[in-house]
Structure 1
């Protein structure tokens, strides 16, 4: 029986019997005297359980309940949501993951009250809490931070189903434009947040990088347009990577034996097809709509991968290799 289960058991025994002696609790819980004393103290100090010791009857009972009476009041019940110590440790670790995802910004700040409560349930001292946090580290290279004020506006509007007035910077054209959008979902991808939304100006689904938002304001009316999630996924998740659009082409890549050891364990796309080759290499086929990100991932494998098809992707990767090689050309 773990500590959480013991807390439930102590509360149930006192509530059902009106009063329970220390010896009875020892027999029911099968723990040492020291452990039981710590549990009772913890319930009083950390969980605000009004447990008092009645010297006259030599029992523990709830304050305000007559000796021997069965308590029917809910005022002294333990919280309805409980976690085991292992689960609490997992939640604290998850909190650290969230802090890593948004750099300790808006998500971590809003979850801090929950974190404090979890530390209390765990019985961890401040030093123990810091030690736990130090043992989980999230490295986020090339992270593009999002101003917390814009993240809060977007996140709140998404939950409240409000439209958003966005001032958005398009890097490719180096221009700013104002858009009225209906948010559909948030995506965290490669250390950056994106918003999938229905753009009322272009009358279609679009994906916006939140770090490119220059201003955001939630609109009280009209209500956000709802798009079925299946439609969102079909429209925006079909191609490779974060670039939106339905997949229109399939790429065929050939990795050598060294790269195959790693790539065989990776998922580049949910619909990818992998086949090991007799020489230990790996053949990968995957769909894409926009070749930009796919080409970048191919290039990072250097000479360990060759693009076999389609011809347009072969030319793109070949040209980028030539351009890069020219930077290092010597006389």
Structure 2
């Protein structure tokens, strides 16, 4: 300790002791006091290195929250890989924490994620990173049938609490999206996957509305009531949306779309606070959907 005090003039014994504790507890440095050598030593045969990046407590907390977000995306899906890192971050966060259980000060709630087989996820992710083709059995829910596809995976997407694999389908000779929970069997092929350019991926998947890809050939105009306007005005429904606030306080939002299924669901969740102004076919579809729903709740079904 005397050598430290002489080397670092102006640094107190208490500061040096705290720094040694910091190295041991925060960075897992195997530093110990050696009576025989009369000083502090690192007994690891030169294997220990300080990390390239140091984190403040607030940064460690942010990283831990990010891990919780990923964990909540699909409980248990990545625990094998994230568990050790999360435990280390917890130990780092505990050093000098101003209060206990700081991790519990933030609550992350996930709603209605569909269950994905962790083994399938690992195989799909590995094939994606290794650039390999896949052979999958995929259940098409609308038709209640299982099809076999050879695909070249392009990217994994987490959208509205669920996992989707964007891939080139060699049977359809086009880009397709596959819900991971609908994949019933997966096999990695010893063939190099076809790689689609980022420009083509962007044009195909970002033009349409929501998860439905394809060139946006339509544009919806939605009018929200003054009561709902402020909230919707803060939302981004599509990168290419346009909007305006009317004199009465209502809010008109225009969004492009290629497939109206997801757009209809988003319109319906606003109930009477929104009106479809255009196009006529979208307005008609929302009307028919509302009529069908209202019919189920009719007080006197006989009428």
**TM over 0.5: same fold?**
yes
Write the distance in 2 (CA, Å) between the matches of 1:167 and 1:93.
35
Q: CA deviation at 1:113?
A: 1.4
1:27 corresponds to which residue? 10
Please state whether the residue corresponding to 1:287 is helix, strand or coil: strand
Write the distance in 2 (CA, Å) between the matches of 1:183 and 1:307.
37
1:47 corresponds to which residue? 28
1:218 to 188, 191, 195: 188
Please state whether the residue corresponding to 1:239 is helix, strand or coil: coil
2:57 corresponds to which residue? 85
Q: CA deviation at 1:242?
A: 0.9
1:115 to 52, 70, 86: 86
Q: CA deviation at 1:77?
A: 3.5
Contact 1:146–1:210 (Cα < 8 Å) also in 2:
yes
1:257 corresponds to which residue? 226
2:112 to 142, 167, 175: 142
Instruction: Tell me: CA distance 1:266–1:254, structure 2 relative to 1, closer, same or farther (3 Å).
Output: same
Where structure 1 has 5 or more consecutive residues not aligned to the other structure, the ranges are 1-13, 65-72
Q: Deviations over 1:255-295 (max 9, x none)?
A: 11011011000011111101000000001111001100100
Where structure 2 has 5 or more consecutive residues not aligned to the other structure, the ranges are none
Contact 2:31–2:40 (Cα < 8 Å) also in 1:
no
Write the distance in 2 (CA, Å) between the matches of 1:61 and 1:148.
44
1:282 to 226, 251, 255: 251
1:159 corresponds to which residue? 129
Q: Deviations over 1:42-94 (max 9, x none)?
A: 424653254656899x8756679xxxxxxxx9645423333222221211111
Which piece of structure 1 moves more, 35-44 or 276-285?
A: 35-44
2:271 corresponds to which residue? 302
Contact 2:73–2:113 (Cα < 8 Å) also in 1:
no
Instruction: Tell me: CA distance 1:93–1:20, structure 2 relative to 1, closer, same or farther (3 Å).
Output: farther
1:321 aligned to 2:293? no
1:38 to 13, 18, 31: 18
Q: CA deviation at 1:145?
A: 1.7
Write the distance in 1 (CA, Å) between the matches of 2:61 and 2:106.
11
Q: CA deviation at 1:119?
A: 2.8
Write the distance in 1 (CA, Å) between the matches of 2:108 and 2:116.
17
Q: How large is the RMSD of aligned CA atoms in angstroms? A: 2.7
**TM-score, normalising length: structure 2:** 0.88
Please state whether the residue corresponding to 2:114 is helix, strand or coil: coil
Write the distance in 2 (CA, Å) between the matches of 1:143 and 1:62.
47
Q: CA deviation at 1:123?
A: 4.3
**TM-score, normalising length: structure 1:** 0.81
Q: CA deviation at 1:21?
A: 2.2
Instruction: Tell me: CA distance 1:180–1:262, structure 2 relative to 1, closer, same or farther (3 Å).
Output: same
1:228 corresponds to which residue? 197
Write the distance in 1 (CA, Å) between the matches of 2:18 and 2:8.
13
1:207 corresponds to which residue? 177
Write the distance in 2 (CA, Å) between the matches of 1:120 and 1:279.
55
Q: Deviations over 1:119-139 (max 9, x none)?
A: 3334459xx88x244333222
Write the distance in 2 (CA, Å) between the matches of 1:121 and 1:232.
40
Contact 2:29–2:42 (Cα < 8 Å) also in 1:
no
Q: CA deviation at 1:107?
A: 2.1
Please state whether the residue corresponding to 1:106 is helix, strand or coil: coil
1:7 corresponds to which residue? none
Q: How many residues align?
A: 297
2:76 to 97, 105, 113: 105
Please state whether the residue corresponding to 1:140 is helix, strand or coil: coil
Contact 1:49–1:77 (Cα < 8 Å) also in 2:
no
Which piece of structure 1 moves more, 294-303 or 34-43?
A: 34-43
